[in-house]
Amino acid sequence: MPPPSLTSPVLGPTVAFVTDVDTPVAHQVSRRLAQTVVGSRRPAPTPSDGDGDNETAETPNQRLPDNDNSNGTAALGVIGAHGAVGDVENAAGVDPNYHVMGYCRFRNSTPDEEDVPDELKTDANDPVGKSASTRDLIASLNTPGRPGKHIRRAIQRNDKENLKKLILDSSIIIVDFIHSIDDVPFILEVLNENAALFVDNPKTVIAISTILTWGRTKPDLEDPDTPLAEDEYRRRKPHPNYRTHVALEKEWVKLSKKECYRAYVVFAGLVYHAGDSGFHPMLKAAWHGADVPVYGDGENFLPMIHLDDLCELVVLLAEKRPEDMKYLLAVDDARTSYGELAKAISQALGTGKIKTLPKEQAILDRDLDQTARDHLGISLRFEPSNIKKLGLKWKYESGLLENMSRYVDEFRQGRGLTPLKVMVLGPPQVGKTYYAQKLATHYQLPYVDVDSVMKETMERLHRRVQLGMALLAGDSGEAPSGDGAVTDVAALAAAAAQEHIDPADIEGERELLEELTEYSKNNNGSFPDAHVLSFMRAKLASMACQNQGYVLDGFPLTKAQAVAVFKKEDGEGGSGGNGTTDANEDGGDAERAALDASLLPAHIVVLDAPDEWILDRCMQRPDSEVTPKTSEEGMNQRLGEYRKQNVDDVTVLNVFDESEIHPTFFNVATGTQGPVTGIMALLHAATQAQATGAGGAPAVMGTATPVDVLPALLKLIGKPHNYGPSKEDISLRRRIKAEEAARVARRLEQEEHQRQQEERDRHARALADWYSSPECQVGRVKRQEQEVLEAQSLPLRHYLMQHVMPTLSLALMEVCKMRPDDPIDFLAEYLFRHAPISLTGLDPPSPEPVRLRGGGSGVHGVTTSADLPPPSPGAQCHTPTSNPSASTAGDSPTTAPGSAV
């Protein structure tokens, strides 16, 4: 619901107008203005200052004319420290903060709810249970098409009448040149035409432009390393896509020549923040573990500034309104190249790898808009001076590289990218792997188990050793041999750099690979416990698991393994011989060992079922699928070991229970769930389930079909913490939904067509049955006789309609008109006198005469005028006797021939 329109009290608020309030920069600027008390950032006056511009010299209850808006309502300035704000508000009854109005960039383009992940929804009262700092950070992110709650009034962008009114009514006007370049000419026209109205109360007009208007500026020929400064604005050369911006910047600054405006142009560097900034594609790629792309050689310098620093600068400029500056370079002090930035992001969030691509391929990156591509293609160095004169309190003054850890935390916090870590435990063959893989697919998390980790480790060691040996051979001048050998030393060096291979470590890795390979051959594919624990810990500590989380399948099995993998590294050896120590020896202190919170799971799911049910399930498998581990003897042994390891105080769950990570028990035989708050409750539930089956009912053997507990698991774990659907995923989801709807429509249409066809067939069968019934045979004979009679009588009907009915109709009408005493005699007399034969001389057709029953002759019993005597002369029609005076001797009761026609 848009905020209500402002009324204008006697003491009016200070109104600020901001364009494109749904874009990152304008959203944050308007938000900060709405939280800023008017005049609170202006310098404190000195005793010698008698100047009217120093609002801080006024008393709290005094009206300040300096910020009067154009409609004659005075704005309220704040005096002194923030402690006087309450007095001002109570005394004047006016909000001392800026009242911000504006319009959105996107017209009717509010994104669908499914397009906005729950982690990015800007509702401060969302049910996701975020901290206050997280909600504040999310609220600072813009939502396209939606003005923030701090906007007092939002108008349509194409509503020029209201746009003009807001411009005239605002004391501060802030225009985003990047997104509102098409509206700038209209705003300039309004300001120029109404300049005389603001002579007494000058407006502050700020243009937030882009550093790309300096994009092709050449460095000093004598000293190319000298950075550019604001006072060199006259020789700036714009990027080809921003020539219009330069022209409008010049027109904007010309407003300062009039006493009614204080105009400023801020050249913003590449703006980065937790939302969809120009660096977002690199952050996203690194978070997913992909190589961060670099378009070009990556040696160009990128002028940058954090969103908070840029917005703070704009608000400070609006408050202080300095008279000695027109242009301001909004960039930090760092000198950072594109390649250095990509490498730092990859190391902070991902694998540390980057990939260099031709500059022309940047246009194929759908995550990069044109503005971001233009920014990443420039190479400029600046030395801002005006920004330092304002006394800006920087957030990232030293640049992004030195604050990368802080920025990455901000990125994760703003997008809710907290890792989701799940551990799935239970006896063998209960279904751990099935549900663990289902959870990993649903939540898009790395699936981790001992087999996959060891396979991945062996492949990585083999690849590194092979590459390292080839690199050493190339350095020594020996030609590498073997299948797939690489002879290009430069390519080897590049590949080794991507793998972070140190030639000094190659020999040690080769020996480790040989040791593991030999041990695996001699021990039926297993590996030494110490190495397994070390590799499992390394996997859980990898960037993929730290960024996204993991689903850990069936590990650890013992308390000793849990402590070795999850304990802090500052304890005694991380994954050394402790991994093979007997659980009873270290059981006293194992669960009390300090654990590494960054590795611990957030959810522990224990799947269980009675041993008989598990054995029965294994026995139902085909003989071709039975292995020594899944045979009856092997399963009895494995189940016995599991039950022995998970009784009372030796269970692995004790380690996590001491850290307040309590498991949740699911009986897959019955699908029941019971919240578990301690180990004894878990063991009691498992014992009860094994003895009677869950729910107190006897366990049913011979029907070992597991109940699907996946919905209960998804409900327990909650919503995903991942990056949310990509644009491609959203498009695919919509396409699948549309295809499903079309498929349902086609199915319904086919069902309706089939129903109609079946109805037609049923009706046809019913008719056929009826026609073949005796009742239908009699009715059909009668219908046939009737049809024959109608066919034979058709000529007669035609004859009557042509020769009899015209005259007879006239006669009947005359009878109704005259109402004679003897209508029959009158009708006969009328027919005698008006026979068609006497008028036309035509003879009727002469069919064969038919003898009537009364003895006369005629055609089909119809007497014609030829069979009758001529009418007697002077025949009179008698009028009704009830009215003898109705006619006289001279009246004729008949009508002249043809008069009734």
Q: Concatenate the DSSP letters of all residues of 440-476 into one string.
A: HHHHT--EE-HHHHHHHHHHHHHHHHHHHHHHHHHHT
Same domain for 678 and 815: no
CB of 418 closer than 8 Å to CB of 408: no
> Does residue 294 lie within any of the structural domains?
no
Closest-CA residue to 805 (of 794, 796, 817, 793): 796
Q: What is the mean pLDDT of residues 513-521?
A: 92
From residue 483, give the alpha-carbon distance in Å to each of 147, 208, 486, 506. Answer: 62, 59, 9, 20
Same domain for 583 and 537: no
CATH number at residue 676: 3.40.50
Candidate from 207-221, 578-592, 696-710, 735-749 with smallest mean pLDDT: 578-592
Element (H, E) at 760: helix 727-771
pTM over 0.85: no
Same domain for 622 and 698: yes
Residue 77, pLDDT above cutoff 50: no
From residue 326, give the alpha-carbon distance in Å to each of 201, 312, 321, 756. Answer: 19, 17, 10, 79
Same domain for 525 and 560: no
Secondary structure class of 552 (helix, strand, coil):
strand
Closest-CA residue to 264 (of 182, 179, 322): 322
The C-alpha torsion from 404 through 410 and 411 to 416, rounded to 10°, is 150
DSSP 884: G
What pLDDT band is residue 19 in, cutting at 50, 70 and 90? very high
pLDDT in tens, 837-879: 544 444 554 444 433 333 443 333 444 444 444 444 444 444 3
Question: How much is the pLDDT for 7?
Answer: 36
- Parent domain of 521: 460-545
What pLDDT band is residue 663 in, cutting at 50, 70 and 90? very high
Tell me the pLDDT of the chain averaged across its residues: 77
CB of 864 closer than 8 Å to CB of 844: yes
Element (H, E) at 512: helix 506-522
Same domain for 600 and 470: no
> Does residue 74 lie within any of the structural domains?
yes
> Does residue 737 lie within any of the structural domains?
no
> Does residue 44 lie within any of the structural domains?
yes
**How far apart are alpha carbons 559 and 590 in whole angstroms?**
7
Provide CB contacts within 8 A for 683, sequence distance 6+.
646, 647, 648, 651
Candidate from 247-251, 311-315, 598-602, 798-802 with smallest mean pLDDT: 798-802
Same domain for 709 and 585: yes
What pLDDT band is residue 51 in, cutting at 50, 70 and 90? very low
Same domain for 556 and 624: yes
> Does residue 296 lie within any of the structural domains?
no
pLDDT in tens, 471-481: 777 655 554 45
Q: What DSSP string describes 826-869?
A: HHHHHHHHT-HHHHH-PPPP-PPP---TTS---BTTB--GGGSP
**Stated length of the chain:** 901
Same domain for 249 and 130: yes
Q: Which of 545, 576, 606 is the last residue of a domain?
A: 545
> Does residue 764 lie within any of the structural domains?
no
> Does residue 245 lie within any of the structural domains?
yes
Share of residues in the chain with pLDDT > 90 (%): 35
Q: What is the mean pLDDT of residues 654-675?
A: 84
Secondary structure class of 102 (helix, strand, coil):
strand
Same domain for 532 and 668: no
**How far apart are alpha carbons 532 and 523 in whole angstroms?**
14
**Total number of domains constituting the chain:** 4
- The tokens for 539 are 């996997």
CB of 615 closer than 8 Å to CB of 636: yes
> Does 706 sit behind a cis peptide bond, omega within 30 degrees of 0 on the bond before it?
no
Q: Which of 545, 563, 583 is the last residue of a domain?
A: 545
Q: Is 300 exposed, middle or buried (0-12, 13-18, 19+ CB in 10 A)?
A: middle
Same domain for 431 and 509: no
pLDDT in tens, 454-473: 999 999 898 888 887 777 77
Same domain for 629 and 529: no
Same domain for 248 and 202: yes
> Does residue 736 lie within any of the structural domains?
no
Question: How much is the pLDDT for 330?
Answer: 94
Residue 130, pLDDT above cutoff 90: no
CB of 818 closer than 8 Å to CB of 825: no
